[in-house]
């Protein structure tokens, strides 16, 4: 009897596959005939390869917003942020006044080894002039990146050196870091700013957690605002640091993919202690897995705004010409069964406007503008508080966009890219004295003041850029303070790195201030954790 059932099952699968193959072959022949007719009879000459690519792109777009086609030329570029490295010379640069200025030299990288310095201006690459010719970021990357082991010759102009200097640089693997910042606050709270979940994330975080553990840190603020996601296993590994053993972190399921569960182990170092997670509308995919799991198990207070709502699982599959498709094969669900993915039934165009629509509908400024149907209510697994599904993770503590922080003057400085250019030039001129005066960021924080002279220099730059300052609303005292703090943080970031930028910027960062006020107040923290 059992043998007969197996035979019947096999016959059913074979017939179904045969029928599917017949249908597929029929449609393939139809598509090929159309291409042949276009090529033989269409009134104008056409690029058949381009037509096929357009057809693939539009077909995938009609299925779901995250199934995408990747041309053979794009594959390596798209992998770089998640693989955690690329081949290049190891500099951070900024285009200022049509000139490429080195704003950072990666420690241990090829450029540092030959002696390139922050503030150097690259005027030629392999004898090709790149200064004053309107080069853009893509043009710079095209000339400076290349395969590991290949040579590039750069000519630079260095301050106080009369003649241009020439450097022969051998390209190498350059790391892309996923931890933007990690430091311990004055109240002994660990802070981590994570921008993506890449191949190197687990290793980077292991070093951070070890530093925290050695310093006796118990409580942590995990900042996932703007985190675009990445590898599922790295999100699971991060949750593992905070959750008790054998707890469901996330599961995936699709019509052709069986349910797969991911659970915590006993390896974590911070399974106790207070934990606050910062999220916003830019937090997507893997960052939503982390915040959703920690919220469902009542392990963390989630602070910020509703997350992006990207809960579709893609698998990359190669096509015949070296191109690929990332095809959606399943969906992510939190431990309580909440679907992370937001709706996309109204089509790709409407889906792509979702964040803009949230802003227009007032969701960024007023929590009451967010309405959930009763069918989207779920109950957390420990304290039984109400949480919501239906797309994205809704925080426990809402942080509205503060549109009053930046003055009209501040906005104009940013819009015309004057602030960053001004800071780069200021630090370039004063790097030696700043480095001599401030041994570390702590001494800088306590002693560096944005004085009237510095503000006057900035104002002169703004006027030169044709900003009509008199026509703008007068800044409030709070807005003046915010601009000064932004300047301080940018200067610190230019002298040192991102880590130092965030240590100063967070002093006026509403997300961080909310998170810190909660984590330092035991009663408030427990109340929010339990939904009371």
Active site residues: 285, 296, 310
> For residue 152, how many other CB atoms are within 10 A of its CB?
18
Distance CA 267, CA 240 (A): 7
Is there a contact between 371 and 361 (Cβ–Cβ < 8 Å)?
Answer: no
Distance CA 1, CA 8 (A): 11
Return the beta strands (E) in 255-355 as ranges.
257-263, 275-279, 301-304, 312-318, 324-333
CA atoms of 532 and 390, how far apart (whole Å) = 23
Provide the pairing of β-strand 257-263 with 248-254: antiparallel
Question: Is the CB of residue 412 less than 8 Å from the CB of residue 467?
Answer: yes
Question: Could you give the 3-state DSSP secondary structure of residue 274?
Answer: coil
Residues comprising the chain, all counted: 532
Transcribe 344-395 into DSSP letters: -TT-HHHHHTHHHHHHHTTTTT-GGG----GGGEEE-SSS--EEE-SSS---
* CA dihedral sign, ordered 373, 243, 230, 517: positive
Write the DSSP symbol of residue 431: H
In whole angstroms, give the CA distance from residue 499 to residue 477. Answer: 27
What CA–CA distance (Å, rounded) separates 362 from 141?
A: 39
Handedness of CA 468, 472, 478, 483 (dihedral sign): negative
Surface-to-core class of residue 509, CB atoms within 10 Å of its CB (0-12 exposed, 13-18 middle, 19+ buried): buried
Q: Tokens 């052709």 appear where?
A: 256
Give the whole-angstrom CA distance, residue 51 versus residue 238: 43
- H or E element at residue 436: helix 418-437
Task: Calculate ∠ Cα 193-196-201, nearest 5°.
Answer: 85
Q: Is residue 475 a contact partner of residue 410, using CB atoms and an 8 Å limit?
A: yes
The Cα–Cα gap between 384 and 529 comes to 10
Residues 327, 314: contact at Cβ < 8 Å? Answer: yes
Per DSSP, 476 falls in state P
Q: Is 46 left (phi over 0), alpha (psi -120 to 50) or beta?
A: beta
Helix axis angle for 522-530 and 510-519, nearest 10°, is 100
């Amino acid at each position: 009897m059992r043998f007969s059932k197996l035979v019947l099952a096999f016959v059913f699968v074979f017939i179904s596959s045969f029928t599917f193959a017949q249908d597929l072959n029929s449609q393939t022949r139809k598509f090929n005939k159309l291409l042949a007719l276009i090529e033989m009879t269409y009134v104008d000459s056409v690029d058949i390869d381009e037509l096929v690519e357009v057809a693939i792109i539009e077909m995938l777009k009609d299925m779901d917003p995250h199934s995408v086609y990747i041309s053979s030329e794009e594959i390596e570029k798209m992998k770089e942020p998640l693989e955690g490295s690329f081949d290049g010379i190891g500099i951070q640069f900024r285009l200022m006044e049509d000139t490429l200025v080195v704003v950072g030299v990666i420690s241990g990288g090829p450029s540092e080894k030959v002696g390139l310095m922050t503030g150097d201006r690259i005027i030629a690459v392999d004898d090709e002039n790149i200064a004053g010719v309107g080069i853009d970021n893509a043009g710079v990357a095209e000339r400076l990146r290349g395969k590991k082991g290949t040579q590039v010759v750069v000519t630079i102009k260095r301050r106080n050196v009369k003649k241009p200097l020439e450097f022969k640089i051998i390209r190498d693997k350059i790391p892309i870091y996923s931890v933007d910042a990690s430091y311990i606050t004055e109240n002994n709270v660990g802070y981590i700013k994570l921008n993506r979940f890449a191949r190197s994330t687990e290793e980077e975080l292991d070093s951070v957690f070890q530093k925290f553990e050695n310093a006796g840190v118990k409580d942590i603020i995990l900042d996932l605002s703007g985190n675009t996601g990445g590898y599922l296993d790295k999100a699971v590994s991060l949750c593992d640091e905070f959750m008790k053993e054998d707890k469901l972190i996330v599961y995936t399921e699709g019509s052709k993919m069986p349910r797969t569960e991911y659970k915590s182990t006993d390896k974590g170092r911070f399974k106790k202690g207070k934990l606050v997670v910062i999220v916003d509308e830019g937090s997507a995919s893997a960052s939503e897995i982390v915040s959703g799991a920690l919220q469902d198990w009542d392990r963390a207070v989630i602070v910020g705004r509703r997350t992006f709502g990207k809960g579709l699982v893609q698998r990359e599959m190669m096509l015949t010409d070296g191109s690929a498709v990332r095809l959606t094969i399943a969906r992510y669900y939190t431990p309580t069964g909440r679907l992370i993915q937001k709706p996309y039934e109204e089509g790709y165009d409407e889906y792509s406007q979702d964040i803009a629509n949230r802003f227009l509908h007032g969701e960024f400024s007023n929590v009451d503008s967010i309405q959930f149907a009763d069918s989207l209510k779920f109950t957390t697994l420990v304290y039984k508080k109400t949480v919501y599904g239906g797309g994205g993770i809704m925080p426990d503590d809402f942080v509205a966009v503060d549109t009053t922080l930046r003055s009209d003057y501040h906005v104009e400085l940013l819009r015309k890219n004057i602030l960053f250019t001004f800071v780069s030039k200021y630090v370039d001129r004063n790097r030696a004295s700043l480095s001599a005066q401030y041994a570390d960021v702590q001494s800088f924080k306590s002693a560096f003041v944005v004085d009237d002279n510095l503000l006057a220099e900035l104002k002169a730059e703004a006027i030169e850029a044709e900003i009509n300052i008199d026509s703008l609303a007068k800044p409030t005292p709070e807005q003046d303070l915010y601009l000064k703090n932004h300047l301080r943080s940018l200067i610190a970031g230019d002298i040192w790195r991102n880590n130092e930028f965030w240590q100063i910027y967070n002093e006026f960062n509403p997300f961080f201030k909310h998170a810190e006020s909660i984590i330092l107040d035991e009663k408030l923290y427990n109340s929010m954790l339990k939904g009371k």
